[in-house]
Amino acid sequence: MDDREINRYRREFPVVEKYNYLDHAGVAPVSLRVKRAVETYLRESSEEGAFQYPAWALRIDAIRGRCAGLLGADNREIAFVKSTSHGLSLVAGGLDWKQGDNLLFCGQDFPSNIYPWQAQGKRGVEARPVPHQKGRVLIEDIERRMDARTRLVAVSSVLFSSGYRIDLKRLGDLCSGRGVLFCVDAIQSLGIIPMDVREYKIDFLSADAHKWLLGPEGIGIFYCRKELAQRLDPLLVGWKSVRNEFDFDHPSLQLKRDALRFEEGSQNLLGIFGLGAAVDLLLEAGIHNIKERVLSLGDRIIKLAEQRGFELLTPREKGERGGGVSFRGKFDPAVMRDWLREKNILINVRGGGLRVSPHFYNTEQDIAQLFDTIDQLPG
C-alpha cells in the first residue's frame, strides 16, 4: 500500500483534521462512507418509510454476504447482533450444558469474554481460567487444563491488554481433535487480520463493529457454524426467529435452522447499513494489505519505544501481535494518556501501560508526533 493510497483513504476520515487518533483498539472513528450510508437510510426512511423495505431487505442480504466473505463463512451462518457480548452470550446461554461439564477461558481477558462463561456456574458448569504467561496465553496451558468433560474453549483472537495474537489455527486443530467446541471473540482482530473460520475450525465467533472494523457501535457479527445452529437454544425468541416469519395470522413456533434464528425481531437497519459501508471500505483496501500496513506501524512504535528505554508489553514478532502495541516507562500511564489527550492525541491505558493502536490510514508522522509529545511531558 503506497503513500498515494494511504492519503486517499485518509481523506475518508475527517477525524484526522483535528486529532491524531491512535485508539482503534478502543472505539474507532467512522469513515465518510459509513456516515453517508447512515444518512442515506435516514433520508429514505423519512421520505419513503416502509415503501423502502423491499430494497432494504436486499441490501441487508448483500451486507450479510460480505460479512460472511470476511470470515470465510456461508451467508446463513451470519447473524447481526448488538455487541460482542451479545454473540458470546448466545453461545454461553444457549448450549445444552450438563452438570459437571467444564469450559476454558482466558483468565485475564476482557470481561465480555469472561462473564458469560462464569455465569454458567449456576447450571453446574465449571469455568476454568487459563492464566497468562507474560501477556501470552499458551496453547500448552489450554491443553493441560482439558479433560474428558471439557465442552468448549473460549479465547480472544488478540488480547486487549497485551496485544498478543493467539495461533487460532493450532488451537482450532487441538479443539477439533479433542471434540471440543471452539469460540472466538474476534473484536481485536477482525478488520486488520485475515480470518478464515473454516481453516481455523472455529465453531462460534463474535465481533462488534466499533473497533478495527471501523463501523458504528451497537452492531456486530455473530458466526455460528451451520451444523451447530440447532444445538443453540435461542435466549431470545421473536417473530423473526421462525421459518415462516411473515405468516402473522398462523403463528407456528418452528425455529429457523441456521444463524438467522438468533435475529429475533426488527433489525438495527441503521447499524447494519453502517457496518456494510465499513466492511466495503476494508475489503476494497484489502485485509492482507491492511494487516501489513498496521503491523508495519507497530514496528515503528516498538522501535521508538525501545529507543527511549520503555518496557515493551507486546510481543515484537509480527506473527504474535495484532494492531495494538503497549509499553510503559517511568511515567504514570494515566497521567501520560491525559497529557496526550490535551494535545489532541488519543491513545489508551491497558495492562499497566500505554496502548497505541493505529489503523491503516494512520501515518508514520502520526507515530513520530506521538513520541515527540511523550518526550515533552513536564517533570
Domain count, the chain: 2
At residue 307 the predicted structure's pLDDT band, cuts being 50, 70 and 90, is very high
| CATH, residue 357 | 3.90.1150.10
Contact 102, 149 (CB under 8 A): yes
- Dihedral of the CA atoms 29, 34, 38, 41 (nearest 10)? -170
Is the pLDDT confidence value at 53 over 90?
A: yes
Assess whether pLDDT exceeds 80 at residue 234: yes
Average pLDDT over residues 275-299: 98
- pLDDT, one tens digit per residue, over 57-66 is 999 999 999 9
Which of these three, 215, 250, 284, is where a domain ends? Answer: 284
Residues 348 and 301 in one domain: yes
Split at pLDDT 50, 70, 90, the class of 24 is very high
Helices (H), the chain: 3-10, 32-48, 53-71, 84-94, 115-118, 139-145, 168-178, 269-285, 287-307, 333-342, 364-375
Output the domain CATH number for residue 130: 3.40.640.10
| Backbone angles phi and psi of 260, in degrees to 5 | -70, -10
Helices (H) and strands (E) in the chain, counts: 11, 13
AA identity, residue 99: Q
In this model, does residue 1 exceed pLDDT 90? no
Domain that holds residue 356: 3-22+286-375
Specify whether 111 is located in the same domain as 232: yes
* 8 Å CB contact between 326 and 161: yes
pLDDT band at residue 379 under the 50/70/90 scheme: low
pLDDT at residue 46, as a whole number: 97
The conformation of residue 23, written as its DSSP 8-state character, comes to B
